[in-house]
């Protein structure tokens, strides 16, 4: 079967690699690099990234690691130790599991009830789930902000419950050696060694549809026929590439309603360890920053010798990007007084280059109104899958549909 893939991000590369053993796979990427929001940008000896924090939410035991192994992509993923920490109000770190130390006696007394709610509370949002208790909300906001780039208020309780279930099942985070690029390079190698191709500077201008079925893609004016088309660019952008007469009104209504999650990443060149370990350090007591990591403790090649790559993340709370960035920079000054570091890069992620194309809990699955046209990537994450783990679960769902 001939397969065209629109976009060489992680979703497109995963689906392409999985099919390339038995099918003729061709990936078309508009940029001069593949990897989308999951690859490296070399700068001043650091391996910055186009998006992700060089972190895989469930490490070597999660859905992404398992799919990488199944498709034959050789990636070394190292678990972080500790699994995560919290920074307290007086700037000390405590292990994630000791979160109760952050709480007053009154808020702590709600722990048994909250444990019950993390199993049964499937309606409303996470803020409701924690009774809008300000102490619990600070913790919930920093976790939702770091892991999903949303607030507790904007995270459905059902998705949080599903995420807790997958976390119990798959375990804690890890860092791929070589950073994000280590993962996407391994996938591109699999595709090419199976006879497939990844064409760069190749923007797909439209999707050919015949009798309601995908028939191929048009790239730079060239019509390329294929048996199926897989899109890695989300439902909404995909729908703009084919004739609007195929858009079912209900589907059109839904894809125009769902929203991406937006965020800001501030990257620091640290002359001394700031976090002191590779895991996520959650920061509940800031104005904006939700968490920070320093993955060069696991892979020193991500920073120049003797230095560290330190990255903070914050969800976008208001549309005033400049103001949000200023508040984030102020947080970092307050968190690391007297430490030696400089700001390497500030990136904001929204619109068509967001943190998540569809905010967690609102994903739309792989199917489209056009037969033989499927969506993969972070507009089609699997239930309970954080970030790239959701992408891997979504690609598994697609492969199940494809096999039937």
Select the residue interacting with ligand FAD from 3, 25, 40, 51 (CB under 6 A). 51
- Spatial neighbors of 275 by CB under 8 A, at least 6 apart, are 281, 292, 293, 294, 310
Strands 40-43 and 46-49: antiparallel
Report if residue 391 touches ligand FAD, rule: CB under 6 A. yes
Select the residue interacting with ligand FAD from 23, 37, 236, 288 (CB under 6 A). 37
Site for ligand FAD in 232-251 (CB under 6 A): 232-233
Cβ distance to ligand FAD smaller for residue 103 or 346: 346
Q: Which stretch binds ligand FAD (CB under 6 A): 22-30, 66-74, 112-120, 298-306?
A: 22-30
Q: Measure Cα distances from 319 to 58, 289, 349, 351, 359 in Å.
A: 31, 16, 12, 11, 16
Q: Least separation, in Å, of the C-beta of 13 and ligand FAD?
A: 7
Whether the Cβ atoms of residue 20 and residue 4 lie closer than 8 Å to each other: no
3-state secondary structure of 6: strand
CB atoms within 10 A of CB 193: 12
Report if residue 282 touches ligand FAD, rule: CB under 6 A. no
Select the residue interacting with ligand FAD from 36, 63, 174, 178 (CB under 6 A). 36
3-state secondary structure of 198: strand
Q: Least separation, in Å, of the C-beta of 316 and ligand FAD?
A: 11
Report if residue 378 touches ligand FAD, rule: CB under 6 A. yes
Report if residue 18 touches ligand FAD, rule: CB under 6 A. no
Could you give the CA distance from residue 198 to residue 146 in angstroms, rounded to a whole number?
Answer: 32
Cβ distance to ligand FAD smaller for residue 11 or 156: 11
CB atoms within 10 A of CB 160: 27
Report if residue 388 touches ligand FAD, rule: CB under 6 A. yes
Q: Which stretch binds ligand FAD (CB under 6 A): 28-36, 95-103, 252-260, 366-374?
A: 28-36
Whether the Cβ atoms of residue 42 and residue 49 lie closer than 8 Å to each other: no
Report if residue 186 touches ligand FAD, rule: CB under 6 A. no
Cα angle value 398/352/5 (rounded, 5°): 35
Report if residue 377 touches ligand FAD, rule: CB under 6 A. yes
Whether the Cβ atoms of residue 241 and residue 45 lie closer than 8 Å to each other: no
Count of residues near ligand FAD by CB under 6 A: 34
Alpha carbon distance, N-terminus to C-terminus of the chain? 15
Whether the Cβ atoms of residue 394 and residue 363 lie closer than 8 Å to each other: yes
Cβ distance to ligand FAD smaller for residue 270 or 391: 391
Could you give the CA distance from residue 403 to residue 394 in angstroms, rounded to a whole number?
Answer: 14
Give 216's strand partners.
208, 225
Q: Least separation, in Å, of the C-beta of 133 and ligand FAD?
A: 28
Burial 304-341 (b: 16+ CB within 10 A, else e): eeebbbbbbbbbbbeeeeeebbebbbebbeebbeeeeb
Report if residue 349 touches ligand FAD, rule: CB under 6 A. yes
Q: Which stretch binds ligand FAD (CB under 6 A): 40-48, 52-60, 249-257, 326-334?
A: 52-60
Report if residue 53 touches ligand FAD, rule: CB under 6 A. yes
- Tell me the torsion sign for CA atoms 106, 111, 112, 116: positive
Report if residue 7 touches ligand FAD, rule: CB under 6 A. yes
Report if residue 143 touches ligand FAD, rule: CB under 6 A. no
Q: Least separation, in Å, of the C-beta of 36 and ligand FAD?
A: 2
Q: Least separation, in Å, of the C-beta of 86 and ligand FAD?
A: 18
Strands 263-270 and 341-349: antiparallel
ω into 82 cis (within 30 of 0): yes
Q: Least separation, in Å, of the C-beta of 380 and ligand FAD?
A: 8
Cβ distance to ligand FAD smaller for residue 114 or 346: 346
Report if residue 117 touches ligand FAD, rule: CB under 6 A. no
Helix boundaries (H) for 214-248: 234-239
Select the residue interacting with ligand FAD from 62, 145, 178, 263 (CB under 6 A). 263
Report if residue 94 touches ligand FAD, rule: CB under 6 A. no
Select the residue interacting with ligand FAD from 3, 18, 19, 55 (CB under 6 A). 55
Q: Least separation, in Å, of the C-beta of 404 and ligand FAD?
A: 23
- Which residues lie near ligand FAD (CB under 6 A)? 6-12, 28-31, 36-38, 51-53, 55-57, 203-204, 232-233, 263, 265, 349, 355-356, 377-378, 387-388, 391
């Amino acid at each position: 079967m001939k397969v065209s893939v629109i976009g060489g991000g992680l979703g497109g590369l995963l689906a392409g690699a999985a099919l390339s053993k038995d099918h003729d796979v061709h990936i078309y990427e508009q940029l001069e690099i593949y990897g989308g929001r999951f690859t490296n940008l070399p700068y001043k000896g650091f391996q910055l990234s186009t998006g992700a924090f060089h972190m895989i939410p469930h490490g070597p035991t999660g859905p992404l690691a398992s799919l990488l192994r199944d498709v034959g992509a050789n990636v070394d993923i190292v678990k972080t130790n500790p699994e995560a920490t919290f920074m307290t109000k007086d700037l000390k770190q405590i292990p994630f599991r000791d979160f109760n130390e952050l709480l007053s006696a009154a808020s702590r007394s709600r722990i048994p009830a909250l444990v019950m709610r993390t199993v049964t509370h499937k309606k409303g949002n996470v803020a409701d789930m924690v009774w809008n208790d300000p102490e619990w909300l600070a913790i919930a906001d920093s976790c939702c902000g770091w892991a999903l780039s949303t607030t507790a208020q904007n995270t459905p309780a059902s998705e949080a419950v599903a995420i807790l279930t997958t976390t119990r099942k798959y375990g804690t985070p890890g860092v791929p050696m070589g950073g994000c690029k280590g993962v996407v390079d391994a996938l591109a190698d699999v595709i090419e060694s199976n006879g497939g191709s990844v064409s760069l500077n190749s923007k797909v201008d439209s999707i050919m549809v015949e009798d309601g079925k995908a028939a191929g893609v048009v790239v730079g004016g060239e019509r390329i026929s294929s048996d199926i088309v897989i899109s890695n660019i989300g439902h909404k952008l995909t729908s703009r590439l084919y004739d609007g007469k195929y858009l079912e009104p209900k589907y059109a209504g839904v894809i125009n309603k769902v929203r991406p999650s937006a965020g800001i990443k501030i990257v620091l060149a640290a002359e001394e360890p700031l976090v002191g370990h590779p895991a996520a350090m959650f920061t509940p007591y800031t104005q904006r920053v939700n968490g920070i990591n320093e993955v060069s403790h696991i892979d020193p090649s991500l920073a120049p010798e003797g230095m560290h790559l330190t990255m903070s993340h914050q969800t976008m709370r208001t549309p005033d990007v400049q103001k949000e960035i200023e508040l984030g920079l102020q947080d970092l000054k307050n968190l690391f007084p007297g430490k030696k570091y400089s700001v390497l890069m500030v990136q904001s992620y929204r619109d068509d280059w967001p943190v998540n194309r569809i905010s967690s809990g609102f994903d739309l699955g792989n199917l489209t109104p056009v037969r033989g046209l499927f969506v993969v990537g972070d507009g089609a994450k699997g239930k309970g899958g954080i970030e790239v783990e959701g992408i891997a679960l979504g690609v598994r769902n697609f492969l199940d549909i494809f096999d039937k």
